[in-house]
A and B are shown apart, each in its own frame.
Chain A
Amino acid sequence: MDQSSRKIRVLVAKPGLDGHDRGAKVIARALRDAGMEVIYTGLRQTPEMIAAAALQEDVDAVGVSILSGAHNTLCPRIVSLLRDQGMKDTLVVLGGIVPQEDISKLKQLGVAEIFLPGTSTQDIAKFIRENVKPRE
């Protein structure tokens, strides 16, 4: 498919036990309005379920929403599961409440960017557009 016509595909994922999905749903809709194809996993997905959905939906990016403080447990696992199943270029971004001291550690583990509360949805869309790996 011609690169310019293929829409960027994003999986918005909500792992962990937390049910606060306002952010996940707002960002899903905003990315859709920005011209991307968005799949929302729904609540309480395990890292395994998220990785499987990413593969099945053949997404370019996974946007993870975590507000509960469980990011250090959940994010690295999602990244490594994606890599293990061959999705080496899939962009992983995280949005939520993340303390400053965790950010560099998460980036080292393969999370491309961490968006804190107050980030505009347009900035997030721009980041995804500029950082997804072009398809063959």
Chain B
Amino acid sequence: MHEIKEDSSEQLASERWEEQSLKPARPGGERKTSFQTVSLEEVNRLYSASDIADIDIENDLASPGQFPYTRGIHATGYRGKLWTMRQFAGFGTPEETNRRFRYLLNQGQTGLSVAYDLPALMGYDADSQLSEGEVGKCGVAVSSLADMEALFGGIPLESVTVSQTINAPASVFLAMYLVVAEKQGADWKKISGTLQNDILKEYIAQKEWIYPIRSAMKLVVDTLEFCTKHVPRYNPISVSGYHIREAGATALQELAFTLRDGIEYVEWGLRAGLDIEEFVPRISFFFNAHNDFFEEIAKYRAARRIWARVMRDRFGAQNERTMQLRFHTQTAGVSLTVQQPLNNIARVAIQALAGVLGGTQSLHTDAYDEALALPTDSAALIALRTQQIIAEETGAANTVDPLGGSYFVEALTSKMEEGALDYFERIDAMGGMVDAVEQGFPQREVQESAYQYQKALERGDQTIVGVNKYAMEDAPQQVPTLVINESVRQHQLERLERTRTKRDGGEVNRTLDKLRQAAQQGDNTMPATIEAVRAYATLGEICSALRDVYGIYEEPAI
């Protein structure tokens, strides 16, 4: 606590500093009249003890591993275990992606992360007319269990953890994953991994939806419930701010909407009768690492503090694991430039360092060529090496929460927390996040921020090196890019054809009917989905069965 006497002496010192040091230092003023973060938040010239006078070290910071976990969830930080280096990968056929996975594992990567193509994300098979031109382009093409078997061939799912970026049809992919594991002889009780399965941020930002929002939430609850009972080490939701940020949100909006989404899943889980101490520890988070170094670090630290307090105070959680926010980080794809693409290596390194200093549990570093295409092998390798350099050479992993106590970082952390709580209040007043999304609130907030940022960029208030400053018209750096062969679609169509011929059609129809029935009656859809997957019903067929019952989502004009 600061006493009044100290405050006034501090103030005197500050005034003296302004008079003696500040004014003579720069008679012509500073470089700019306003200094802003990439989120267009004003930052002060200097942060001092007075900026963190309100912080109670015991209650607001505590020690690493202690409530509210501002300084991290592990007492030893990265001295015990480094973060998981988990590079997101997927392109072309399942066989091609399988080769990339094995390559990355051989290079020291410690976890896998699957990127699926757009037809898969939208619940269409490769042979759907809507899939034309998109098969294997933005990720790996998967239409049925046969593709999943090829994707994970030779990769033991009991020992390698796999993260799957899939949302609207997430329950189908969870089912396929579990059946592949079962065929490998793995025990569901032992396998781990992560399903993104965050449908709320799809309506807010990423926009790969299938069903109306409340039916989609029911499917999320089904996976939560199923995993809690049968796959207890699996993480069935990764609540994702990454895409919200990429769509244009500020750091604060990313933080606030993501955590409020998390609260929504907890509420829906509780309403389904799940035990908070059982299912919440398996909910993890996923944040962006953007360019503004300190703002990002503050965001991660604030996220942990807010979540711990919300779990304890709003939900009455008591177990530490329930209150500890674990998160994955990915560097900001949106910050990568086509112009002078090798500059992206520097951006990624700095963004990744922010994730590490913020205490991330796992990290994906973008490849420098990702503004051009999916990464080549060599670009993906540099991205992985960037993490290894941070881990092994910089010393950043030697000390827990090395920026804790920084006037600037602590002041930003507190400001982030306040801003997020303010958003929570507004969203609560709307009836919760599902209602807020139905009213278009987070969508409008994100769009507005995206537009304001674009304007700031075009005014020159925000700088992108190589784009609106230090541009080189005549000498663009050319780098090799990955080209997805058009034969991918043919390859996938042939396997799909073989799968449809070989399977027992009667069994497919029977299991799909059973799934429709489960959905109609409001039962948990996971057991029926697993049966349909075992019968080699395709992704498109399973999603169609659910579309028959739930209908499809139509986005309101926002």
* Residue from the set A18, A46, A122 with the largest chain B CB neighbour count within 10 Å: A18
Segment at the interface with B among A1-9, A65-73, A78-86: A65-73
How far in angstroms is the closest Cβ of chain B from A9? 18
Q: How many residues of B contact A (CB 8 A)?
A: 42
B434 CB–A CB distance under 8 Å: no
Asked if A120 is an interface residue, CB under 8 A from chain B, the answer is yes
Residues of A contacting B124 with CB < 8 Å?
17
- B450 A25 Cβ-Cβ under 8 A: yes
Residue A105 is within 8 A (CB to CB) of chain B in the complex? no
Q: Is B339 an interface residue (CB 8 A)?
A: yes
- Most A C-beta atoms less than 10 A away, residue of B246, B334, B337, B338: B338
Question: Which residues does chain B contribute within 8 Å of A116, judged by CB atoms?
Answer: 338
Q: Which of A17, A22, A72 contacts B121 (CB 8 A)?
A: A17
A30 interface hit (Cβ, 8 Å) = yes
Does B451 contact A68, Cβ atoms closer than 8 Å? no
Contact status of A26 and B451, CB under 8 A, knowing A16-B133, A68-B118: yes
Question: For A16, what are the chain B residues with a Cβ–Cβ distance below 8 Å?
Answer: 118, 133-134
The interface size of chain A toward B, counting residues with CB under 8 Å, comes to 30
Provide the B520-554 mask, 1 if CB < 8 A to any CB of A, else 0: 00000000000000000000000000000000000
A68 near B138 with CB under 8 A, answer: yes
| B246 engages A70 (CB within 8 Å) | no
Classify the secondary structure of B's interface with A.
loop
When the two chains form their complex, are residues B130 and A26 in contact, meaning their CB atoms are under 8 A apart?
Answer: no
**B399 in contact (CB, < 8 A):** no
In the assembled complex, the CB of A31 is this many whole angstroms from the nearest CB of chain B, namely 12
Residues of B within 8 A of A (CB): 118-119, 121-122, 124, 130-134, 137-138, 202, 206-209, 246-248, 334, 337-339, 371-373, 447, 450-451, 454, 457-458, 464, 467-468, 478, 481, 483-484, 555, 557
Interface residues, chain A, CB within 8 Å of chain B? 16-22, 25-26, 29-30, 42-44, 46, 68-70, 72-74, 97, 99-100, 116-118, 120-122
| Smallest CB-CB A-B distances: 3 pairs | A73-B133, A19-B207, A70-B133
Q: What are 15 sample pairs from A and B whose C-beta atoms fall under 8 A apart?
A: A18-B134, A18-B138, A19-B207, A21-B207, A22-B247, A22-B248, A25-B450, A68-B138, A70-B133, A70-B134, A99-B372, A116-B338, A118-B337, A120-B457, A122-B458
